Chain A
Amino acid sequence: MLLFAIPLGITLALSFGTTDDFGNAIYGWHPENYEQAFDPLFLPVLLRSVGFALATVGICLAIGYPVAYYIARFGGRYKHVLIALVVLPFFVNYLVRTYAWVALLADEGLVNGVITDAGIRDEGVRFLNTSWAVIGGLVYGYLAFMILPVYAALDRMDPALIEAGKDLYGTRWQTFRNVTMPATFQGVLAGAVLVFLPAVGDFVSAQLLGGPGTYMVGNLIQQQFLGAENWPFGAALTTVLMAFLAVWMILYLRSAARAAREATA
């Protein structure tokens, strides 16, 4: 808890500081950093980050749920191997994986090479430096965080429930909707939170795969530390972002606590 609280404390203290002539941070009492953080100029940046993160959650769910479902229900004795295979790429550092995408998706990179050679199009497609490239990078970066909780929830579910559901509801879709979905809802929610929270503050995808119009809150904060030499302002932005994300986290925790109580009631 201490390892967690001390950096938070330093960030908080720094956020009230200012910079000297050389750009070094000095501590003090300068709440105007927070005034600056709420400048309406930055609102589109925050909205964009939330938008990207929500899209990422949606796509991760669309891809991750079927994968988790297949492994949990049909993996049989290879379940563990399959899930390990899913997780394996994530041992490679996120930054390195994103760089790989840059090489793959460049205008004259691998994917476009295949497209032009196969005659699908004359010129390549511009993948990089677009919003969708950033979202793609985010999905690729955080997919495992969706698959694992959903898999855990599915795995935990008693397959007899599905059999019973088939008797009750008849069609596979009805069974899924009325039995499987509610039973795994907490897993989905956990995955959604695990993807949403870091995705909002992400800066790697936007920096490597994005363009001038995909600036996210993470990049704004990163710039204050690495570019603008304004660590106190960066710290203020960080604190505001953390407070914003904490709201969602608390809502999630309440929902999960309520579900747990209901389950054992």
Chain B
Amino acid sequence: MTWVLEPFALPFMQTALAAAVLVGLSAALLGGYVVHRRMAFIGDALAHTTLPGVAVAYLSGVSLSVGATAAGVFTAVLIGWLSRRQALREDTAIGIVFTGMFATGVVILSRSGTTRNLTDVLLGNVLAVTPGDLWLIGGVTVAIAAALLLLHKELELASYDPTHAAAIGVNPDRLRFVLLVLLALTVVTAIQVVGLILTTALLVTPAATAALVTRRFARATAVAAGVSVFSSFVGLLLSYHLRVPSGAAIVLTAVAAFAVAGATRLRRSHAPVTRP
């Protein structure tokens, strides 16, 4: 048992665990919508667009989180505005915008003469999360939980039947907008823990695992949250003892959970049916 407890007796590991758990919760809460509304691509795009924000923030001495948040929210608003009233057909347009922004970020950062920030943004560095950052991360988690709790029935309806939603006076575009902004905030905090490249995995994998386990949206969200917290904890533990990057360890644990759920489901569906 000390194998489990020993790392988390260290203050910096506690901060890391708190960050990973909070981020995991945010990602899992939104994950259901990301998976079922097919927003994984947009999640990835939002992650990429934070880079120029980080670059400019670094060069102007402003907090990197602030820069990333500004860029992410700006892009969310832009995407929301560009694709209103339609199911996403702008894959190409969004693909061009976000890769363009990412490349701009790379150029800006290259002028700073160091590759350290790029590596941290791409791969995440949960050990670099300060207690100050924890406030932002925690705030985002609370905001998401509150928004989803308050808006859950309208969000659900607007997700599968936007026409009926509009007919009864619930504007699906505005709700989509809210979802995009929440997604941008989650992505910014997730980047700090698992890095830009793996952020989508954190958004999608726990929710996908939950979808294998239950068919109800509300229950799936709870399961996703559980898987996410579990992955954060075990992932950090493995990263400590096996000396592997923590972001990757967390994601791999989540993927393993998905594999287990998938295998269990496969076995059940192939089990022989006994007839009376």
Task: Note whether A and B form a binding pair.
Answer: no
Q: Which residues of B contact A (CB under 8 A)?
A: none
